Amino acid sequence: MDPLPLKDKVAIVTGSASGIGKGIALRFADEGAHVSCFDLNEEGAKNTAQEIKGKNREALYFKVDVTNSQEVAEAVKKTFEHFGHIDILVNSAGIIRAHFITDVPEEIWDAIINVNLKGTFLCIREVAKYMIQQKSGKIISISSKSGKTGGLWLGAYCASKFGIIGLTQSVSRDLAPYKINVNAICPGNVFSTPMWDLLDKEYSRKLGVPPEQVRKLYVEKVPLGRECTVEDVANVAVFLASSYSDYMTGQAINVTGGQEVH
């Protein structure tokens, strides 16, 4: 195995201020990549970039609303102008809320679809323009186990994550002639993220159990008997971003401890 499989590659990672996005950005730097950090949380993106620089890699950071096509285009352009190439895109920006279907506010539905699905589309559309010129690239989008099987009280979130898988399959065919690989990762329950800090409280109210019991209930559903970690997801992201996955495209890979097996 190559000790630095991403040596001198340039990666854009959205949602890189925290959670899975931050974990992947830092891991990519460990594997030799330079990283451009996109996030609506500018201070968080800056902090991630500083950590990457501490690993002797180059890093940029941009305040980007992934639902805003102009902001996405400008940040991608500046990344390309700085590095001269873009080799990897990771779409990790995402939000979640839990509501019974009759209680879903329209604005919440729109926000989740816009950030999770439209944001993924806008970033792929913009980065692909540069990858097509290079005739190479790796695009990785973070879907979810909820993109394979619908989850309780998660109508909008599941719709967005199912949509990412459909988008991945379609775009993989569009971009295959240009030697661009397009894949998705479907993680299980990654408790060490701000998303789960929110869900603990929402599920606690709905399930009628203390917040500290919520995660226990979800772990009990996992055949391998533990939560999914950011490191579990980053391991697969490194593989998909490297040359080891050159013959894989259009896939949605489960990282769920056996909860999803298709």
pLDDT of residue 180: 99
Quick one: pLDDT band at residue 210, thresholds 50, 70, 90? confident
pLDDT digits (tens, 9 = 90+) for 30-50: 999 999 999 999 999 999 999
Whether the per-residue pLDDT at 197 is higher than 70: the answer is yes
- Residue 99 gets which letter from DSSP? B
What's the confidence (pLDDT) of residue 126? Answer: 98
Q: What is the pLDDT of residues 12-31, one digit of tens each?
A: 999 999 999 999 999 999 99
For residue 68, is pLDDT > 80? yes
Distance of alpha carbon 56 from its chain centroid, rounded? 24
What pLDDT score does 200 carry?
81
214-236 pLDDT, tens digit each: 889 889 999 999 999 999 999 99
**How many helices and strands, by DSSP H and E, does the chain display?**
9, 7
Residue 82 exposure: Cα atoms within 13 Å on the Cβ side: 17
Nearest by Cα to 224 from 199, 254, 251, 196 = 254
Strand segments, DSSP code E, in 100-257 are: 137-142, 180-187, 252-255
Q: What is the DSSP string of 201-230?
A: HHHHHHHTS-HHHHHHHHHTT-TTSS-B-H
Hey, which residues does 253 pair with through a beta bridge?
A: 185
| pLDDT (0 to 100) of residue 86 | 98
Strands 137-142 and 10-14 come out as unpaired
Of 252, 207, 261, 230, nearest to 19 by C-alpha is: 230
Q: Which residue matches tokens 């040359």?
A: 243
pLDDT of 195 over the 80 cut: yes
Q: Is the pTM of this model over 0.85?
A: yes
212 pLDDT higher than 80? no
Active-site entry in 157, 178, 218, 247: 157
Q: Token pair for residue 134? A: 């290079």
Query: What pLDDT is stored for residue 92 in this prediction?
Result: 98
- The residue type of 27 is R
What pLDDT does residue 1 have? 67
CATH superfamily ID and name for 10-188+229-255 = NAD(P)-binding Rossmann-like Domain (3.40.50.720)
| Mean pLDDT across 111-133 | 98
Q: Is 157 tagged catalytic?
A: yes
Cα–Cα distance between 148 and 184 in angstroms, integer?
A: 12
Report the half-sphere exposure of 6 (CA within 13 A, side-chain side): 32
